[in-house]
Structure 1
Amino acid sequence: MVHFDNPKDRPVYIISVAAELVGMHPQTLRQYERAGLVHPYRMPGRGEGKGGKERETRLYSEHDIEQLRYIKRLTQELKVNLEGVKQIALLKEELDLRQRELDKQKQKMQQEIQRLRSKIGQLEVQIEEEV
């Protein structure tokens, strides 16, 4: 059993439900997957699919649904083509990574500030005791 830390990453929607939730045709979701814009979880299914390969069921998470809605907005409202969507997705991913790194650095700095404030408090007590 696969464990997903974030509940939004847990795959729950089959392709027909995911397509309905975002107002797209299931074939569009397959096209976006082939283009590398969305990566649904693939659960082994029963029987064989095309070419004798084992059949798999695509399961979409809440995060995937959000990504599909974002792609839909870019392509339909802003008229961005799929190559443009790929570039935007790469930039967004890089930006998110940098944001997480900055958040970690900020947390470390806040801990260091707290440590230094505590040290200052200890030194002030020592000074008061000596005077």
Structure 2
Amino acid sequence: MGQDRESGRAASDYGHAMAAKVAHFLGTELLSKSSNESVWAGKRIAIKCAHRNTPQIGLSLAMLGRVQNIVAALEDKDSSYTLYQLDPRWYRAAMIPSRSNSPSAQRVMMVSCKEIRTVGQVIGRMPPG
């Protein structure tokens, strides 16, 4: 099912709120209130989050060019989140274009959460809430 303007805004709000929680869990802060980027372990990272039934995460090509690591926080069946570290080179190799019809669709590339769970390095587990 695709997103409309309202569901897209809700997803964006969720992503930014969760990115702040993940950054705090990792002992760092977001670079700004409107960003999901941070510096962790001396590297600039993008923090991407997804609910349990969300099939993919998306990352803009611009952000992919800026970061040295990606942290994906994927919700588990018990509502906790497993944190996966991803190499941007792997993301580039695995990414596919967004199917969105929005003007930004050409700039956002998607990767399967299932692939992330298989390939990503587990770096932590956040409790529910």
- TM-score, structure 1 as length reference: 0.27
Specify the structure having the higher radius of gyration (Cα): 1
- TM-score, structure 2 as length reference: 0.28
**Structure with greater proportional strand content:** 2
